[in-house]
Every structure is written in structure tokens, then in C-alpha cells.
Structure 1
Amino acid sequence: MRLALTGSNGKLGTVVERELRAAGHDVVALDVVGERRDGFTRIDLTDSGSVFDALSGIDERHRGLDGVVHLGAVPAPGLETDVATFRNNMLATFNVIHGARKAGIRRVVFASSETVLGLPFDLDPPYAPVDEQYDTRPESIYSLTKHLEEELARKVARWDADLSITALRFSNVMTPDDYAGFAAFQSDPASRKWNLWGYIDARDGAQAIMRALDAAVPGFDRFIIAAADTVMERSSASLMAEYFPSVELRRELGEHETLLSIDHAREVLGYAPQHSWRG
């Protein structure tokens, strides 16, 4: 497929671009920052005219797209002011989805976030492993924006019977270079309690994106995308017993099983994590 990739120079986007190209896709890389290189175009995603133009065609880069992968965003709370985060992320996602519809693009995959599940879990989750079945619980402006982006996608997808919009609720993105730092978590499990000790290898994030593009199920859906295990050497059950003793466990947990359920992604997309910090 010929695909536009926003946020192509970010931590996840860099790996996604590499993996998409390795899989044979033609990638139009878009980001607000970056050095000149083949296949890359600078863009301000909050400028609707630029987004619509980029998705419709860019000189010799392309004259039509099969899909859009939207990762471009202020990637976490606190990096910019609340107003700046809200304005950038909300407007960028609206422009991408609206622009894709105008350009006749039927596949849109975008980055939502694990934060909509209730991070940093100062209030207990309703049960564990957490999944997509309970209502979102945004606890920051960043997370609130991700919730609203999902709602935007859900409503827009109602207007087109063959439009597929997929929100991927990525966990904390890691690359192999980050894994040496996991040793520091082991003596302080509370330092990772905020996201139920979850993570996602960026390469598996790319896999989830490609599976969502291939499936292109009409309508809207959202999926938690995490590794199959936690960042801890301790068992998942012992972590829950110590830090969330009142939370119902919906099933018997595997030794290091993720507490961010990826069952829905496995069942619908065929997502199958291949990478772990354990080697």
C-alpha cells in the first residue's frame, strides 16, 4: 500500500516507518520536524489546508493514498501546556480524519493511548487485566484529548459504510536500547504501578499497525496494544496482591502476563507480540 505516516520522526514513528518499508509498503513520511531526506515532507498537522493537500498529493511523492497512519502528536502530558496539548492533538486528528475522507482514503489507523484506561491508577481500575469494555477514565488533559479523538473517530465512521478507523491504545513505547533500564524497576515496583507495569516494543507497535491496515474492518474500533508480559521479574499476581489488593482478577494470571489485556487485538486483528525485554 501507499501510506501516509504522520509523526514519522518520533520514537514509535521511526520504527513504524522502517517496518512498513521493510514489509514492502510505500511510505510518505510526514512530521513537523526533521532533516531533508527521500520520502519525507515537513508539515504542520494543525494546518488543515496543508493536511488536506498532503493527503491528496505531493508533487512526485504521491498522487493518491491507500491509507493513513496518524502518530503525530504531543506524545505525553506535561510536555506542553494543557491548552497547547489539547489544541495540537485534537486539531491534528480532526484534520487527518477529515482530510482522509475528503481524499477518498478508506483506511485510517491512529495512536490513542493507554492513559484512557485510568492512568496513573490513583483510583483502582474496575478489574484486571484491564480491557476495552469499560468506559474511558481520562485523568489528564492529554488523556482527555485521546478520549475525544476516539469519540470523533467513532462518530465520523458512522457516516461512511466502508470507512475503517482504528484507534490503537499503545502502552509505554520501548525500543531495545531502553531494556537495560528495566533493572532499575525491580527494586521499586511502585515506580511502574502507574500503568500496571506495562510496555510495548515499538516493533510490535508497528506489527499492530500493519495488522489494522490489512484488516481494515469497516467502522470504528479501539484496541489496547501492549507486550505480552510486564516490565517486572515478579509475578503479575503478586504485584496485584500488593498494590491493588481490592481489584478483582478476571482470570488466573500467567507468571508475567500483561495486566493490559490484548485479547481483543489478538482476536480481531491477529496481533501477536513477538518481542520482549526478557530476550
Structure 2
Amino acid sequence: MKNIVVTGGSGKAGRAVCRHLVDEGYEVLNIDMQPSSDPVCPFYRVDLNDRGQVMDALQWTGGKDHPFRKFATPDAVVHLAAVPAPDLLPEDVTFRNNMMSTYNVFDAALRTGIKRIVWASSETTLGLPFSPQNPPAYAPVDEDHPMRPESAYSLSKDLGEEMARQMQRWNPGTTFIGLRLSNVMEPADYERFASWQDTPRFREWNLWGYIDARDCAQSVRKALHVDFVGADHFIIANADTVMERPSADLMREVFPDVPMRGAVEGRQTLLSIEKARRVLGYEPQYNWGAP
């Protein structure tokens, strides 16, 4: 599992994933529409909404000395490319882009013999944005929480998970791992966290969660190697919240009627990562208090 194609490798999570995989000794190809600001690996410009271009990217043979020749048979695809959040583009544009690009990547990977796909689903599938009017069913939220997409973006991720399940069913022996990523943060973003401390409702929408881009990269690497065949999904967040206050206090103030499942200690995340810990061996290494 050494030759990895990363779609969206120029984005916020993608840059961290490409750098981490390269640092760990992988051969990585970034396919995206724009080059990365951190060009640690070869870049190939591909419109993922064009199925022919995606097939070309995954079947690349190159010349004898071409730097992409090693990707004639990728070992896995990490699919991160997407319109990355709601409200950035009109709803229909977001939905069409995310659905078609995901279908094209999944389909092309299977047709070229790639048996492992790790891809970015989203925490938003669980009902975000949460509010006192739209609270979670319980907390900490885990993978058993009802799927409640509230936007075209989250609906595209919800349907992407169903697409993964059905395509895996058509192709026994393959592995699809969807990572329900929390709000991706880089170290430079941590400067903003101080401004949130007096207004807990500013970040209530995702239960004060986040994921350090470097821990996102770790979760991708763990998903590439976990001994698993099938289709599954995992919440990926950091072990703490973006707040200095204890998580139980935040829930009592903002979501007093939401049932708590088990004890929540200190600033423990309210987006449960227990399944990712248990199955993937994921364990966050970074946090905003000590980046």
C-alpha cells in the first residue's frame, strides 16, 4: 500500500494528507484543479466531474522516465475533493459537483482494479448545524446517531455513504472507508479560538468539535492499512473541543434537554471517536492548547 492517489490534495485537509503520506514514505499523486501551496508530490490537473479525465488519471502509464509512471497501478485512492462546506456555492452546484465527482472516483477506481478507497464524508450528515431548535438526539454523538442531512452538502455526503455501501456490495473484496471529518483546522487557525470562549453558542453548531489537519492525515493513513473488507464510516475529531469550559457544562447551558450517554470528563469531545480508536487505531496527537 505505497502508491496513493489523493484527490483534492491541494485543499486544507489534502495538503496535510499529502505531506504526511510523503513523510511516511509513500509515493503520492495529487489530482486536483489547482496546484498545492505545499507541493510535496507530483500534481496532475483533473476535473473530477469528467469521468474520462478521472479514468485517465487512475490509468496513467506515462513514459519510461515520467514521474507519474509509478502510478500505473495505484494501491489506493484517498478521495478528499469536494465543495468543502455548505453555503459556498448554490445548493444545486454543490450537490451536483460532490455527487458526480464521488461517483466518478469510486467507479474509476473499481474499474482500474483499485480495491481500497478512503474518502471524506462529513460530520454534517449527523444533523448539523445543531441548535436548541435542532438538537442532537443524544451526546456524545456517535456513528449510531440518526442521519439527518440539513443541506445539499450534507445530503451529498449522506448519499455518498450509501453509494459506497452499494458499490462495495457489487464488488466483494473491496474496502470503502468514509471518514466523517469534523471542522478541519490548521495551527494558524488556533489564533481564533480565544475569541469564542465567551460565546459558546457561536460553535454550538457542531458541538464545539474540530479536527487538526495533521490528525486528519493520521486517520487517513490508519484507514489505508486497517484489516477490513467492506464499507464503513467513522467520526474523526480531536479528543477535545474548541472551548476551555468543560463539555458537560456546555451541554447543560446550551442543550439542557439532550440525554448524555455516559460520563463526559473535562473538555472531552462530544463527537465520539471511540469507534475510530477501536477499529482504526486512531488517536489524536495534536490539540489547539498545545499545537
TM-score between both structures, scaled by the size of structure 2: 0.94
Counting only pairs closer than 5 Å after superposition, residues 117-132 of structure 1 correspond to structure 2 as 117-122=126-131, 123-132=134-143
Determine which of 200, 223, 237 is the counterpart of 1:212: 223
Shift of 1:134: 2.5
Counting only pairs closer than 5 Å after superposition, residues 52-131 of structure 1 correspond to structure 2 as 52-59=55-62, 60=66, 61=68, 62-122=71-131, 123-131=134-142
* Percent identity of equivalent pairs: 51
SS at match of 1:275: coil
SS at match of 2:142: coil
Report what 2:155 is aligned to: 144
For the 8 Å contact 1:107–1:216, the answer to whether it is kept is no
The separation in 2 between residues aligned to 1:127 and 1:156, in whole angstroms, is 31
1:167 counterpart letter in structure 2: G
Alignment partner of 1:174 is 2:185: yes
Counting only pairs closer than 5 Å after superposition, residues 150-161 of structure 1 correspond to structure 2 as 150-161=161-172
Q: Which is further off, 94-103 or 51-60?
A: 51-60
Report what 1:203 is aligned to: 214
Structure 1 unaligned spans of 5+: none
Alignment partner of 1:183 is 2:198: no
2:54 counterpart letter in structure 1: V
The separation in 2 between residues aligned to 1:3 and 1:166, in whole angstroms, is 15
Report what 2:254 is aligned to: 243
Report what 2:50 is aligned to: 47
Report what 1:274 is aligned to: 285
Q: Deviations over 1:66-125 (max 9, x none)?
A: 000000000011111111101110000000100000010011000000101111113111
Q: Deviations over 1:115-161 (max 9, x none)?
A: 01111113111110001113311011100010000000011111222
> Structure 1 residues 165, 89: closer, same or farther in 2, change over 3 A?
same
TM-score between both structures, scaled by the size of structure 1: 0.98
The separation in 2 between residues aligned to 1:204 and 1:7, in whole angstroms, is 17
Report what 2:203 is aligned to: 192
CA RMSD of the aligned region, Å? 1.2
Task: Give the aligned length.
Answer: 279
Shift of 1:216: 5.1
SS at match of 1:19: helix
Structure 2 unaligned spans of 5+: none
The separation in 1 between residues aligned to 2:100 and 2:141, in whole angstroms, is 29
SS at match of 2:72: coil
SS at match of 1:276: coil
The separation in 2 between residues aligned to 1:252 and 1:82, in whole angstroms, is 38
Q: Deviations over 1:231-250 (max 9, x none)?
A: 00000000000000001100
SS at match of 1:13: helix
Shift of 1:35: 6.7
